[in-house]
Amino acid sequence: MNQELFTVNNLWIMVATILVFIMHLGFAALEAGLTRAKNTVNILFKNTIIPALGLITYAFIGFNLMYPGEAFSGGFFGLSGLGLSLPEGWDSAAYNEGYTFFTDFIFQAMFAATAATIVSGAVAERIKLGPFIFFSLLYVGICYPIVGMWKWGGGFLDAMATPFYDFAGSTIVHSVGGWGAVIGAYLLGPRIGKYKDGKMNAIPGHNIPLATFGVFLLWFGWFGFNGGSVLSADPGAVSLVFVTTALAAAAGAFGALLASYLKFKAYDITMVLNGILAGLVSITAGADLMSPTESVIIGFIGGTLVVFGVVFFDKIKIDDPVGAISVHLVCGIWGTLAVGIFGDLAGGAQILSQLIGIGAIGAFCVLFSFLVFFILKKTTGIRVDEQEEVEGLDINEHGMHAYPDFATKE
């Protein structure tokens, strides 16, 4: 490979890294917009500290857990050391034909922090900040890298006769976050007033324009999330991934629009916003394998599923203020299964492999999340007291308001 091509490939992955990084601002804006004004500082604090802590934790141990080297091929666990040790040829094609060692690390680190950010939305407005930060450290530093190694690090899911396939992380990133989210929301319990006298009471977000801004930032960043996962600047592959990503998001919007209108007889912007994200999550596992038509079908089904997911979790009284579980868990599972139904790998053997991957990763994440949250619940506690929740986390956890010049009802 000539130096010019290597430089172009490496540069594209660094640009994609920047796009994935800006998704954290998207998550912050979406989560803040869909929750109440009295908790805005708390939401923004969590979404600021997660990528900061995530980067450090992933550098210290996570990267070496996720990519432990050929000695652990086909295994369940491996650790090649602590910290970032430069391998021979780290800055040239001797390390990898598409990128340098440092580019590899920083691109993967951005993905790692995303998994914990997903959990933040589902536990919003009632979780203690300290325990949440502790959980996030363990989830980014240990849980995510271990399951990521199973496929992307050459572990047992990659070594199966028909390898499990997850191009950019419908399961390895989004469902990992979704499993942590559903366990956290379950053990925390619903927000005060959410479910009363057998009825579900909607608790509307305080800033829909901010939420909309967040979703478009996420859609923008997803071109790096999926496009960068090609791991080169290959013109055909990257352009296909851009098209399937965009079409799935657009179809997800229409799927959610149709399903929510038929269900609620209203044009619900929050459902359409989550429909866009549902389409994006759904295509992420197979964005490089699908035709434009198949990506539309996958995205549309994802957008439909997210509406029924929100309704289902409300029925079983799992309070998810932003719909993170429906978007990232439900559609992460759907998108991973879609690899075996549509595209270049479709077939019964691939469906079975996808189910094995979904089940194994799901079981590990549920066990890990439950143990951490349950131990925290029984020791430090994970939920703020009733008065703090009613008054708002901003004034009680941070001693400030997001909007000090405006009177708010809550």
Percent of the chain at pLDDT > 90 equals 88
- 72 assigned to some structural domain: yes
Q: Which of 377, 363, 303, 307 is nearest to 335 (CA)?
A: 303
Helix (H) or strand (E) holding 10: helix 3-33
- 408 assigned to some structural domain: no
User: Tens digits of per-residue pLDDT, 267-293?
Assistant: 999 999 999 999 999 999 999 999 999
CB of 186 closer than 8 Å to CB of 318: yes
pLDDT in the model for residue 410: 52
Helix (H) or strand (E) holding 195: strand 195-196
| Domain total of the chain | 1
Using the predicted structure, report yes or no on whether residue 91 has a pLDDT greater than 90. no
- For residue 199, the domain's CATH number is 1.10.3430.10
- 123 assigned to some structural domain: yes
Using the predicted structure, report yes or no on whether residue 315 has a pLDDT greater than 70. yes
CB of 221 closer than 8 Å to CB of 26: yes
Helix (H) or strand (E) holding 199: strand 199-200
Which residues form the domain of 351? 3-398
User: Tens digits of per-residue pLDDT, 115-144?
Assistant: 878 999 999 999 999 999 999 999 999 999
- 361 assigned to some structural domain: yes
User: Tens digits of per-residue pLDDT, 316-329?
Assistant: 999 999 999 999 99
- 140 assigned to some structural domain: yes
pLDDT in the model for residue 285: 98
- 404 assigned to some structural domain: no
- 403 assigned to some structural domain: no
Residue with tokens 């399951």: 147
User: Tens digits of per-residue pLDDT, 340-362?
Assistant: 999 999 999 999 999 999 999 99
Q: CA 37, CA 246: separation in Å to the nearest integer?
A: 32
- 340 assigned to some structural domain: yes
pTM, full prediction:
0.95
Mapping DSSP to helix (H, G, I), strand (E, B) and coil, where does residue 307 land?
helix
Return the HEC string of 103-148: HHHHHHHHHHHHHHHHHHHHCCCCECHHHHHHHHHHHHHHHHHHHH
